[in-house]
Structure 1
Amino acid sequence: MKLLKKFLLLLLIVVAIIFYFNYPKLNILAGYSAKNTASSVFVANRTLEFTDSTDNNFSPINLTSDKINSEEKSATGSVYGLLTRKAVYRDGLGCVLVSDDFDPSKSSLVPNRSQPDIGTPYPYGNAPQKDTLFANINYNTLNTAVSSMFSDVNKTRAVLVIYKDQIIAEKYDTGFTKDSKILGWSMTKSITGTLFGIMQCQGKLNVFDKAPISEWQNDARKNITIHNLLQMNSGLEWDEDYNTISDVSKMLFLEKDMTKSQIDKPLVGKPNQTWNYSSGTTNLLSGILRQQFDSHQEYLDFWYKALIDKIGMNSMVLEADMSGNYVGSSYAWATPRDWAKFGLLYLHNGNWDGKHLFDKDWVDYATTPTPTSDGWYGAQIWLNAGSRYPDVPKNMLSFNGYQGQNVFVLPEQDMVIVRMGLTKNADINVFLKTVISAIKH
């Protein structure tokens, strides 16, 4: 009996040690699962079963178990019952991971939204488009290229091809339609960056000014400009690794205020000489945007009033952290058709059906390659100047997100291509090359 007690005590100690050293990892796993489940169910209107079988079925997230509380609109994620995290839905703000001191009875400010235009044909409204057949398009080649993305390897959820403002190809995976909201992940960064372009063109800020961060004013970081932040070229330390306990995973799944995660990081390089992709930088930019307004309500409204609703991306939901900041690095949900509208805005140099949001000077600025990025990156926008896709025009720009979310803008072809996926395995270069080849000029 004494031997059994000693064994059980030893086992308990071993379990406690394992739990202690793995607690941060379990915390992030449960947090990812709870947040992703809540958003999938309450923002994108999917079922728990569908979410678990498609979005949360990869290692190590599939170690978690998820539950939904429909009455309070919340989700919990648990890792073997050892640790449980909770995410809640807030109308107008999407879903957020909450801490034990979260008060569900406390109301939050929410953005004011405009009503969708259901009378104007797509893309400038949300009514059915006026279909046009183009004599210079090889539709067999086009449709073959689109269909190729929906293999077991490529795992694509939606593809949309727009040519001369007309949808010429559109395909969805089982369980998805033109009305399905899909998370853009880091495509959200391009939304955040564009808001700086709008404010720049309105004369409300200058991106070449020093970043207004009080914590940096007594050291070398005081020389970092908003421009450096937009280009991910501040020289600040940041670890963007989604497969480990890194700066980005701790920010997204542990922090209450995600705008502060980058602030405390030291310089490990020099501004304008050290490109380093950082979601913390984009959320810092979201915080800088918030400083430009006299009230929190104005900040919440601006993203929709100045950009999202103005171009009819009415399906989009920007999710906010517990401190009320939009998670500008990662959390925007919208239909593929609405993501395509964002691409069209850049294709048309900031002009939206006669409405001027920003000018070509901003497009030129945002698509100027960042020093030391090998021609891959501009101001919160990905570029092909470095021939990342060798068979695609070098002036292509794109908004890219985790697991294969893409909006490709091809000025020479007058084309926008959207691909929403669950993997980066797809050969995007061949796909784009084939779609382009279907258009005879």
Structure 2
Amino acid sequence: MARRLFIALACLLATAPAMAASDGYDYHAGNRQLIRNGVQAVLTCNGLFTSRRTLEQVFDQELAYLESRVLGDATGGPYAVDRARRAVTVGGGEHGPAVSAAFRSGIGCIVMEPGAPLASIDQLPALPSPDPAAGAGVPWPDGDLVETAPLPEAVDAAALQAASDWAFERPTAEQDTVSLLVVHRGRLVHERYAPGFDAATRTRTWSTAKSIAVTLMGLRAADGRLELDAPLGIDWLPPLASDDTDPRNAITLRHLLHMSSGLYPVDSFGMEYASGSGLAYWAGASSVDGARRRGLVREPGTFWDYENYDTLLAVYALKRTFADEAAYHAYPREALLDRIGMRNTLLSMDRFGDFILSSQVYTNARDLARFGLLYLNEGRWQGEQLLAKEWIDFVRTPAPASAPRGNDYGGQWWLVPDDRKGEVPADAYSTAGNRGQFVLVVPSHDLVIVRRGLDYGKQGFDRWALLREVLKAFPRAR
């Protein structure tokens, strides 16, 4: 009976978008307008105060993917920049609800409650700010002192430059590479930035943040505080009289990290900027409450569906392992970021103090290269085993529900699809974020490749093709 119910609900869900489209009325128009304003506020705020770029650069690149949804331009419009408070407000009046985002120490820009006055900024969370300059005299990879030396004879310099040119000189302006780093055998052998960017520039990771999130969970699992297949203990919404009978209790951390929770989709089927996590990312809603309100429509583990809320539920499960919020807020920097020299990385939060580790992290290319090195070295950093090899094996093993897709997804990391194996090493795996944020780890060639982008339009930057091009410069290392 239960399985028939799952199937019936799945069929209903599959037809829901078509039914909504035939209705002819957009019942989410208000949400779309609210989110539109919030997207512009967040990206402008972070562009100015986290990435430290000019307003002209923000409109030209950070906001390019929004196309006609942008309000105004760099000369002015229905938005306001408060440089003293480090805040941006977009909208108001005929342009929909005013949404503000404000920069906070150690976090980046936080979305405020729609319509909230800027005078309430001090009520938002803040954390100690890392000092990127502290790594200036520290040798790579713990710091930013990079040895200048000729390439090893075994590396084909011309082929490496050709691969770099391939990444930057794309046939379409929609693929906008802003940085490329290549690390071989622990050494930074290639580093290139587009005009307006340098080694210190932080940009948004988008969903590459998910791979950082699963790393923090792996560190917590090593402490015995999280288990892949144990009950999550989540207090689902709405609260039920008999919580022990809630079918969502069958969902495990493994299901969430495999993107196969079975929960109702809220970001799929064209709804990403109308409901679901979009309200938390851009409109000031709680990233936790929305995640806990989804009902079960499929048997956990049986269907792959890429949902930001699956990651955010896993992050919430991580939070519940701490005795208090202060310990939770300190954990990412103490357990991971400071230990591998990620001094430029800011993990953003919602206004309620919950990390939005499905997307909202700002960092530079070098910090992502360090992150990739941790995985390349199977969890070891400077001789210390930080992350268990078993956890790394988990994240790079295909999720069972991803088989129909070509076994291209593990545990919050992407894998080489079946139809690309042979073109590139099958052992490669990658983070992936919107607008072209990739960290590729290639154990068989002792390589880490970081590509950052501000892609827009149809995007479609092919990271496996980039790997193919880079490999032309390197011998097989292992």
Structure 2 length-normalised TM: 0.83
Which residue number in structure 1 is paired with residue 461 of structure 2?
A: 426
Kindly tell me: are residues 22 and 411 of structure 1, through their superposed partners in 2, closer, same or farther at Cα, counting changes over 3 Å?
Answer: same
The whole-number CA distance in structure 1 between the counterparts of 2:370 and 2:157 is 22
Which residue number in structure 1 is paired with residue 179 of structure 2?
A: 158
Q: Offset at 1:125?
A: 2.2
The whole-number CA distance in structure 2 between the counterparts of 1:107 and 1:78 is 21
Q: Offset at 1:344?
A: 0.5
Q: Please tell me whether residue 179 in structure 1 is matched to residue 203 in structure 2.
A: no
Secondary structure in structure 2 of the residue aligned to 1:300: helix
Q: Is the 8 A contact 1:387 1:394 kept in 2?
A: no
Q: Please tell me whether residue 360 in structure 1 is matched to residue 389 in structure 2.
A: yes
The whole-number CA distance in structure 1 between the counterparts of 2:162 and 2:90 is 40
Paired letter, 1:27:
L
Which residue number in structure 1 is paired with residue 100 of structure 2?
A: 86
User: Percent of aligned pairs with the same residue?
Assistant: 29
Q: Is the 8 A contact 2:398 2:415 kept in 1?
A: yes
Query: 2:233 is matched with which residue: 209, 212, 225?
Result: 212
Map 1:57-206 → 2, pairs under 5 A: 57-58=64-65, 59-64=67-72, 65=77, 66-78=79-91, 81-83=94-96, 84-99=98-113, 100-101=115-116, 103-106=120-123, 108-111=125-128, 113=130, 116-129=134-147, 131-151=149-169, 153=172, 154-206=175-227
Q: Is the 8 A contact 2:100 2:116 kept in 1?
A: no
The more displaced of 408-417 and 169-178 is 169-178
CA offsets per residue over residues 323-373 of structure 1, 9 Å max, x none?
A: 001111001111101111100000001101112211211111111110121
Kindly tell me: are residues 117 and 157 of structure 1, through their superposed partners in 2, closer, same or farther at Cα, counting changes over 3 Å?
Answer: closer
Q: Offset at 1:218?
A: 2.5
Unaligned runs of 5+ in 2: 1-24, 237-242
The whole-number CA distance in structure 2 between the counterparts of 1:403 and 1:87 is 21
Q: Is the 8 A contact 1:29 1:79 kept in 2?
A: no
Q: Offset at 1:243?
A: 6.1
Q: Offset at 1:151?
A: 2.7
Map 1:12-411 → 2, pairs under 5 A: 22-58=29-65, 59-64=67-72, 65=77, 66-78=79-91, 81-83=94-96, 84-99=98-113, 100-101=115-116, 103-106=120-123, 108-111=125-128, 113=130, 116-129=134-147, 131-151=149-169, 153=172, 154-215=175-236, 217-240=244-267, 241=270, 244-374=273-403, 375-384=407-416, 386-388=418-420, 391-411=423-443
* Number of matched pairs: 424
The more displaced of 401-410 and 51-60 is 51-60
The more displaced of 341-350 and 152-161 is 152-161
Q: Offset at 1:255?
A: 4.2
The more displaced of 305-314 and 269-278 is 269-278
Paired letter, 1:276:
D
The more displaced of 72-81 and 142-151 is 72-81
Q: Offset at 1:290?
A: 1.5
The more displaced of 268-277 and 56-65 is 56-65
The whole-number CA distance in structure 1 between the counterparts of 2:123 and 2:247 is 41
Kindly tell me: are residues 143 and 224 of structure 1, through their superposed partners in 2, closer, same or farther at Cα, counting changes over 3 Å?
Answer: same
The more displaced of 251-260 and 29-38 is 251-260
Q: Offset at 1:247?
A: 2.3
Q: Offset at 1:386?
A: 2.8
The more displaced of 221-230 and 309-318 is 221-230
Paired letter, 1:22:
A
Q: Offset at 1:109?
A: 4.8
The whole-number CA distance in structure 1 between the counterparts of 2:244 and 2:283 is 27
Kindly tell me: are residues 244 and 107 of structure 1, through their superposed partners in 2, closer, same or farther at Cα, counting changes over 3 Å?
Answer: closer
Q: Offset at 1:432?
A: 1.3
The more displaced of 232-241 and 110-119 is 110-119
The more displaced of 54-63 and 394-403 is 54-63
The more displaced of 258-267 and 419-428 is 419-428
The whole-number CA distance in structure 2 between the counterparts of 1:231 and 1:72 is 40
Paired letter, 1:44:
S
Choose between structure 1 and 2: higher helix proportion.
Answer: 2
Kindly tell me: are residues 172 and 113 of structure 1, through their superposed partners in 2, closer, same or farther at Cα, counting changes over 3 Å?
Answer: closer
The whole-number CA distance in structure 1 between the counterparts of 2:326 and 2:102 is 21
Secondary structure in structure 2 of the residue aligned to 1:313: coil
The whole-number CA distance in structure 1 between the counterparts of 2:359 and 2:107 is 14
Q: Offset at 1:235?
A: 0.8
Taking only aligned residues, the RMSD between alpha carbons, in angstroms, comes to: 2.3
Secondary structure in structure 2 of the residue aligned to 1:161: strand
Q: Is the 8 A contact 1:239 1:278 kept in 2?
A: yes
